[in-house]
Amino acid sequence: MDEGFIFGCSAQGRVALDILKLQYPGTAWFFVDDNPDMLNQVIHGAVVIGGLDKLKDKKQPKLHIALGHPSVKLKIVHTCELLNIELIQAIHPSAVVSSTAVIGKGVTVCAGAIINTDAKIGDFALINTGAIVEHDTVIGDYTSISPAACIGGRVNIENEVFIGSGAIVLARTTIGAGSVIGMGAIVTRDIPASTLAYGNPAREIKKIDSSFNWSKVL
Ligand SMILES: CC(C)(COP(=O)(O)OP(=O)(O)OC[C@H]1O[C@@H](n2cnc3c(N)ncnc32)[C@H](O)[C@@H]1OP(=O)(O)O)[C@@H](O)C(=O)NCCC(=O)NCCS
């Protein structure tokens, strides 16, 4: 039986497991996670085998990275590249992805998401459950779009951005790299890089630095 691996055994990992079981029937799935408390736990039939070093002896292992935190994901991707691990996409069969959209390496596209014509989804981006990415929009590398967010046409969302659940982004706007948009925000104008913004209309609340509390986001 083929083996496949999912990095991250939190909620996003379980979501990815559901998708990958549909995408690769007949594959046995395992979680890869550094958290010692999770070692050898069985989650929905998939065993947590430990950190990435456990893949060193596997022949051409395939791995999907299931994380919502953009910069943590970036670090894991770099480690996987050093270890020559093949990084695979997870695209739920119920997602509607235009044949003219360009989908990057290692992306996650969850159930019911819609990616419309000529959109471009960057490497390792996450398009979560029921999110909509409209025509000609560009989603940057490692960017996460949360459930039910609606990104209008010709929007430019740069790398490592996090868009909260149900946020709506006006057509033709730009959201700068590393920014976080709160749940339910209505973005009506450009948001600069490394900025937390939320509300209706979304206002810049503060700059995001190393003290930013990600536990309110993920
Ligand atoms: C925006 C967010 C990161 C919190 O930011 P914060 O500045 O630390 O906010 P705080 O929790 O300190 O709250 C400060 C004030 O903003 C309000 N607030 C927080 N998030 C808000 C939001 N998204 N929209 C409007 N107001 C919000 C709070 O109610 C609070 O108001 P108060 O001062 O009147 O009591 C968080 O609320 C959020 O929206 N996270 C995204 C969650 C998400 O969608 N995750 C995806 C899960 S799959």
The pLDDT assigned to 169 comes to: 98
The total of structural domains in the chain comes to 2
Domain of 148, in residue numbers: 91-204
Name the average pLDDT for the chain.
97
Q: What does the block give as tokens for 175?
A: 């959201």
For residue 1, the model assigns a pLDDT of: 81
Residues 197 and 97 both lie in one domain = yes
CA–centroid distance, 93 to ligand 1, in Å, is 32
Contact criterion met (CB below 8 Å) for 199 and 181: no
- Same-domain pairing of 144 and 184: yes
Please identify every residue annotated as catalytic. Answer: 135
Residue 209 counted as domain residue: no
Q: What is the CATH number of the domain that holds 84?
A: 3.40.50.20
**Residues 8 and 26 both lie in one domain:** yes
Q: Are 144 and 128 in contact (CB under 8 A)?
A: yes
Find the helix or strand (DSSP H, E) in which 16 lies.
helix 11-23
To which residue do tokens 């093949």 refer? 86
Residue 157, CB half-sphere, CA atoms under 13 Å: how many? 37
**CB 176 less than 6 A from any atom of ligand 1:** no
Co-location of 20 and 112 in the same domain:
no
174-211 per-position pLDDT tens digit: 999 999 999 999 999 999 999 999 999 999 999 999 99
pTM: 0.97
How do residues 87-141 score in pLDDT, each as one tens digit?
999 999 999 999 999 999 999 999 999 999 999 999 999 999 999 999 999 999 9
